[in-house]
């Protein structure tokens, strides 16, 4: 266990344990708290509760310190100060310093766009029933992406023996975080997968290694899937720019629509976010939490609920590689 020498030592340990109980790894924060612990000793802190003078010294930019590091260092202590206040310990708590964010913003399909997208997808497949190419697999592949939120590479590497069509789930083995996970799917996704599976067996036989099989017992490439994705967008009259939509935005859309649906059914975000995080295969809640704000932006009626969450539970974190 990490050892801290200042008067804040036990509270730091409690705070880190609290964050981890919510699903955060909280590895980098340990180093920042070690630095703060030494700082508190150097400043001869004898009482618990951050003062304004102490905080202003901590907020000063250090020699050769990046804005990103200062942002994490300062805001981490602000969140810790809020935690102390919630425990009934008076502690100075300034506003969070702004973060220089990237311009990246995922494209979230509306429900109308999703309906148009799959209508175009089905129309293309029905017009090419004799085709043995990916064009007939796309209704199943894209419904799998939107209906389960799996990454495109996870879907394309999905092996036939790991798809349990009658039981309503599949196993993912080739994942970003190198951990296997069981992913259930809805009846509508199952119907699409079964329809494709029937077609695939007629073309390639029943012993293909990969579920989305290609000639030579290989799987379809991400590039080939993207080409069909772009064609369907055009047919569905969904504009495409340099910012998207991208294939990965089906995963983002699944996440936002799922959070909105759970919220509309009365589920508290405290409970729904860890469920979504586990389902998506994220290593921690930090990779999932920004979907709360994306959901609130698309569904303004959820803003009030999102804002009720403690700031130290859901700090502002944006990760482009979710």
The residue behind tokens 């919510």 is: 22
Residue 202 has pLDDT above 60, yes or no: yes
The residues pairing with 170 across neighbouring beta strands, listed in sequence order, are 163, 183
pLDDT tens, 131-190?
Answer: 556 677 889 999 999 999 999 989 999 999 999 999 999 998 867 666 788 999 999 999
CA 293 to chain centre: 12
pLDDT tens, 4-23?
Answer: 899 999 999 999 888 888 87
Neighbours of 301 (CB within 10 A): 10
pLDDT tens, 245-289?
Answer: 999 999 999 988 988 888 878 777 667 778 888 888 876 676 677
Contact between residue 247 and residue 155 where contact means Cβ atoms under 8 Å apart: no
Contact between residue 245 and residue 114 where contact means Cβ atoms under 8 Å apart: no
Residue 104 has pLDDT above 70, yes or no: no
pLDDT tens, 19-77?
Answer: 888 877 676 677 788 889 999 999 999 999 999 999 999 988 876 677 777 888 888 89
Tell me phi and psi for residue 126, to 5 degrees: -65, -30
Segment (H or E) for 213: strand 213-214
Q: How far apart are CA 309 and CA 178, in angstroms?
A: 31
Q: Looking at residue 14, what is its pLDDT?
A: 92
Q: Looking at residue 177, what is its pLDDT?
A: 62
């Amino acid at each position: 266990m990490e050892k801290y020498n200042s008067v804040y030592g036990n509270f730091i340990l409690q705070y880190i344990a609290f964050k981890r109980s919510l699903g955060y790894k909280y590895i980098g924060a340990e180093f920042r708290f070690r630095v703060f612990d030494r700082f508190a000793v150097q400043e001869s802190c004898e009482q618990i509760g951050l003062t304004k003078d102490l905080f202003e010294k901590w907020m000063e930019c250090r020699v050769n310190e990046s804005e990103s590091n200062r942002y994490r260092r300062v805001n981490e202590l602000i969140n810790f100060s809020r935690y102390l206040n919630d425990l009934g310990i008076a502690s100075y708590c300034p506003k969070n310093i702004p973060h220089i964010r990237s311009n990246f913003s995922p494209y979230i399909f509306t429900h109308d766009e999703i309906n148009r997208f799959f209508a175009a997808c089905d129309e293309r497949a029905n017009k090419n029933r004799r085709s043995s190419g990916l064009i007939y697999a796309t209704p199943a592949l894209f419904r799998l992406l939107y209906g389960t939120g799996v990454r495109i590479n996870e879907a394309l590497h999905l092996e036939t023996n790991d798809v349990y069509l009658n039981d309503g789930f599949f196993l993912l083995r080739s994942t970003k975080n190198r951990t296997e996970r069981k992913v259930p799917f809805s009846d509508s996704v199952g119907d699409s997968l079964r329809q494709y599976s029937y077609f695939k067996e007629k073309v390639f036989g029943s012993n293909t290694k990969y579920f989305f099989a290609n000639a030579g017992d290989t799987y379809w490439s991400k590039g080939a899937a993207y080409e069909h994705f772009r064609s369907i967008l055009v047919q569905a009259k969904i504009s495409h720019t340099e910012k998207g939509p991208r294939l990965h935005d089906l995963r983002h859309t699944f996440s936002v629509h799922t959070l909105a649906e759970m919220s509309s059914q009365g589920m508290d975000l405290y409970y729904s976010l860890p469920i979504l995080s586990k389902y998506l295969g994220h290593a921690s809640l930090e990779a999932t939490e920004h979907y709360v704000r994306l959901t609130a932006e698309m569904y303004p009626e959820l803003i009030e609920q999102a804002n009720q969450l403690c700031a130290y539970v859901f700090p502002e974190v944006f990760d482009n590689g979710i």
